[in-house]
Structure 1
Amino acid sequence: MTYMVNQLDNLMKNNTNEPEFLQAATEVLQSLEPVIARHAQYRKSGILERLTEPDRQIKFRVSWIDDQGKIRINRGYRVQFNNAIGPYKGGLRFHPTVNFSIIKFLGFEQIFKNSLTGLPIGGGKGGSDFDPKGKSDREIMTFCQSFMTELHRHIGADTDVPAGDIGVGGREIGYLFGQYKRLCNQHTGALTGKSLSYGGSLVRKESTGFGLLYLLDAMLKANNKSIDGKIFVLSGSGNVAIYACQKAQEMGGKVVTMSDSSGWIYDSDGIHLEVIKEIKEVKQQRLSEYISYRPNAVYHEGKGIWSTPCDIALPCATQNELQLDDAKELVKNGVIAVAEGANMPTSLEATHYFQANHILFAPGKASNAGGVAVSALEMAQNSIRYSWEFNKTDLKLKKIMNDIFEKISESAKEYGVPGNYVDGANIAGFLKVADAMMAQGLF
């Protein structure tokens, strides 16, 4: 039994009921076989064993009172995975599906994503099984205050810096930060994604979507292709999807689909972004309302978005939304590139199918890194009590994303898998963290 097979076997035994974490860890470890074969010191120092076990896992009760005066109970989580290159950094997700497996997979991915940015941030993630949908502002504030009453003792500007994720936007970050400030008597960069009025960064809202297109553009150019004139199928309708759509349109692409948890829209004339922003950012309505503004568009209940013919697919909704059958449909319909805007939205089988059919594929830990990159820039601005203008921050983001593509491309070439950007991202992200762990001794 080889060393890597043994590591995977131990992971399976020790994390039996955590399928999402096992999926993320399996992908990374399989990519790292040539690295471990070349660098015996990583095996000798137990880097993989240490890297796949979180530094700590925190689980806590969150008690709050709803508008009817009833006491409600949810579970809160924070997984601090690795801080070899900087403070733990990763979002908070509020969604009914949240459990330790989800948080661990997100935190594990975050280690490599944060490493790829080149910025001094480690990997962590957190959240709760609380569902903000249908809750009043008062209920959400009460929940966030209760959540932070426990979490505050585990975080800080130089310890662990949470941000937003699914279900945690500017409103939630505001309530969380207000409670943190009240409890700690500190106005520091202990959270990112804050409003501009109290320490947030320009471009933060746009960062993940913009960053996705910057990396996609770099990948296409490296393969003698371009965004201009391409048809895009894009899933999701949150921040990532909205601003990926905006940047794709600015760069000459035509986005024809978006989706939410109920269904998806197809607009053959191209998505009318101002309508999407009105529905989702202002009125917070279902995507089905789009056809009342754009009667020539078509709304479909449920799944099926990946059956739409396109040149480029951007999964920007949630994990494992794009399965093997979807990949086969996309390839059959002529897709040339897939870039992940969400965290692990493509199953392992679908990823392998794209690669086997020579489809350009950008993994989320690289293409989704724009959000955490600007979060780290927000941390820097908070530290110096200063803020940068939009264009300056956007230029920094574009450079980070171009640098990420260069890193993953070069790593893939160096380890004998040119064009395999999944392996390239895992290898490049791993090497920086592994070397930092080696330098700091056993911890």
Structure 2
Amino acid sequence: MEILKHVMDDVIKRNPNEPEFHQAVKEVLLSLEIVAEKHPEWVKDKIFDKIVEPERQIIFRVPWVDDNGEEHINRGFRIQFNSAIGPYKGGLRFHPSVNLGIVKFLGFEQIFKNSLTGLPIGGGKGGSDFNPKSKSNSEIKRFCQSFMLELNKYIGANTDVPAGDIGVGSREIGYLYGMFKKIRNESTGVLTGKGLTLGGSLVRTEATGYGLCYFMNEALKAKGKSFDGATVIISGSGNVAIYANQKATQLGAKVVAMSDSNGYIYDANGINLNTIRKIKEVERKRIHEYTKYHPNASYTEGCDGIWKLKCDIALPCATQNEIDENSAKTLIANGCYAVGEGANMPSTIEAVDLFIKNKVIFGPAKAANAGGVATSALEMSQNSMRYSWTFEEVDTKLQNIMKNIYIKCSNAANEYGFEDNLVAGANIAGFTKVAEAMYSLGF
């Protein structure tokens, strides 16, 4: 990386102690050196320098009161990263790990992910270090209302349209949207991931998990393989993991392992998804409860061990950097021939390099998990029209979007000499659309 080395150096200098953001930028810039060579006008106009700097960084205080009357203070974030091709679009994450660097890494990734969908949406991300676990429904409602009391100043249907992410589901979106309506007296598509009675879209709940499998199905078919008869491991047990399990199973695979932040379960007969949904969506308990319903299954404390299990296809759907170099080596040694990223940046750079060098079919997050934001954009369209499409209509649109994302990534990789490298293809295809818009707009 010669032409763009100064960009990476400036990112590290101007954003100290933000390793996730540094990692995300480095991973993209490594693919873009050849693009810089081909487009000296973008280098001269500082497009590469501009795209790594958020247009706006918003940090705010979120005071809220618990059920015992004690006041707490959390920190809220919204990074409006790039609006060259449309309003900022990206989720809100409520988790104690959230900090400025995490939100910037997620927002940066979102620029290219949103670009790949082919829909007119820019990149943004937000959230808070609030931990919704063990909080009562009333506490979560009060927190969401306080959060929106500040956030509402910066968002709008044509400006910035947040969605959900880790810790923010339809319940939280409902409370956030309710507070927005009280403050602004507007019924607009300012948030996505809403319940169906609030203007939400069918398939939105399933979209990221389904989209992951639709993308990987295209990548597998290109190499003469498929989900049919494959053994699959899925990390996580949240929304993405649950619906990735459902779609992979529908496509003929057998999912044998899932996890949560405490540990993982293994069921040689195939994970019973109804049990997982009961534990996670109804009872809101930990995944070890699974063995009470299925005594032949096993539970293991800790999450790293899940990647030591034998599988054909791995779908990391939990969190960033969950697959490191050693985990990648183990997966490869055990015969894993495909990895699809359902979470955001779940593989380290070293792990990704190993997968590519060993010809593992690798679906990078910014392409493979774009189904969620794509369907959020479809929700925005339905809100604008005051109209709703059927489940089948939205699902068909999602399938076409994910197929087109694969084609864009594959074509870009081949055009720039990165044969079969979908990471480089996703970075280049996502970047060039935004760069062209920035150059034309004089951004």
Normalising to structure 2: TM-score of the pair?
0.99
271-280 or 111-120: which moved more? 271-280
Instruction: Give the 3-state SS of the residue equivalent to 1:387 in structure 2.
Output: coil
Displacement of 1:3 after TM fit?
Answer: 2.1
Q: For residue 177 of structure 1, what is the amino acid of its counterpart? A: Y
Alpha-carbon distance between aligned partners in 2 of 1:174 and 1:320, rounded to the nearest angstrom: 30
Q: Which residue of 2 aligns with 1:327?
A: 328
Q: Which residue of 2 aligns with 1:424?
A: 425
Alpha-carbon distance between aligned partners in 1 of 2:440 and 2:429, rounded to the nearest angstrom: 17
Q: Which residue of 1 aligns with 2:65?
A: 65
Identity of aligned residues (%): 62
Alpha-carbon distance between aligned partners in 1 of 2:131 and 2:226, rounded to the nearest angstrom: 40
Alpha-carbon distance between aligned partners in 2 of 1:53 and 1:307, rounded to the nearest angstrom: 38
Post-superposition CA distance 1:206-246 (Å, at most 9, x none)? 00000000000000001111110000011000000000000
Q: 4+ residue stretches of structure 1 with deviation over 4 A?
A: none
Alpha-carbon distance between aligned partners in 2 of 1:200 and 1:10, rounded to the nearest angstrom: 41
Alpha-carbon distance between aligned partners in 2 of 1:132 and 1:11, rounded to the nearest angstrom: 32
Q: Which residue of 2 aligns with 1:306?
A: 307
Instruction: Give the 3-state SS of the residue equivalent to 2:101 in structure 1.
Output: helix
Q: Which residue of 2 aligns with 1:31?
A: 31
Alpha-carbon distance between aligned partners in 2 of 1:214 and 1:44, rounded to the nearest angstrom: 39
Instruction: Give the 3-state SS of the residue equivalent to 1:153 in structure 2.
Output: coil
351-360 or 199-208: which moved more? 351-360
Q: Which residue of 1 aligns with 2:354?
A: 353
Q: Which residue of 2 aligns with 1:10?
A: 10
Alpha-carbon distance between aligned partners in 1 of 2:119 and 2:407, rounded to the nearest angstrom: 16
1:7-406 map, 5 Å: 7-303=7-303, 304-406=305-407
Alpha-carbon distance between aligned partners in 1 of 2:321 and 2:80, rounded to the nearest angstrom: 23
Displacement of 1:259 after TM fit?
Answer: 0.2
Query: 2:321–2:345: 8 Å Cα contact kept in structure 1?
Result: yes
CA RMSD of aligned residues (A): 0.7
Alpha-carbon distance between aligned partners in 2 of 1:278 and 1:391, rounded to the nearest angstrom: 25
1:435 aligns with 2:436: yes
Structure 2 stretches of 5 or more lacking a match? none
Q: For residue 319 of structure 1, what is the amino acid of its counterpart? A: Q
Q: For residue 121 of structure 1, what is the amino acid of its counterpart? A: I
Instruction: Give the 3-state SS of the residue equivalent to 2:290 in structure 1.
Output: helix
Alpha-carbon distance between aligned partners in 1 of 2:208 and 2:266, rounded to the nearest angstrom: 23
Displacement of 1:359 after TM fit?
Answer: 0.7
Post-superposition CA distance 1:66-87 (Å, at most 9, x none)? 0010110000000000000000
Displacement of 1:201 after TM fit?
Answer: 0.2
Query: 2:3–2:36: 8 Å Cα contact kept in structure 1?
Result: no
Structure 1 stretches of 5 or more lacking a match? none
Displacement of 1:6 after TM fit?
Answer: 1.7
Alpha-carbon distance between aligned partners in 2 of 1:248 and 1:38, rounded to the nearest angstrom: 39
Instruction: Give the 3-state SS of the residue equivalent to 1:269 in structure 2.
Output: coil
Alpha-carbon distance between aligned partners in 2 of 1:130 and 1:6, rounded to the nearest angstrom: 36
Q: For residue 42 of structure 1, what is the amino acid of its counterpart? A: W
Post-superposition CA distance 1:124-179 (Å, at most 9, x none)? 00000000000011100000000000000000000000000000001100000000
Displacement of 1:2 after TM fit?
Answer: 2.9
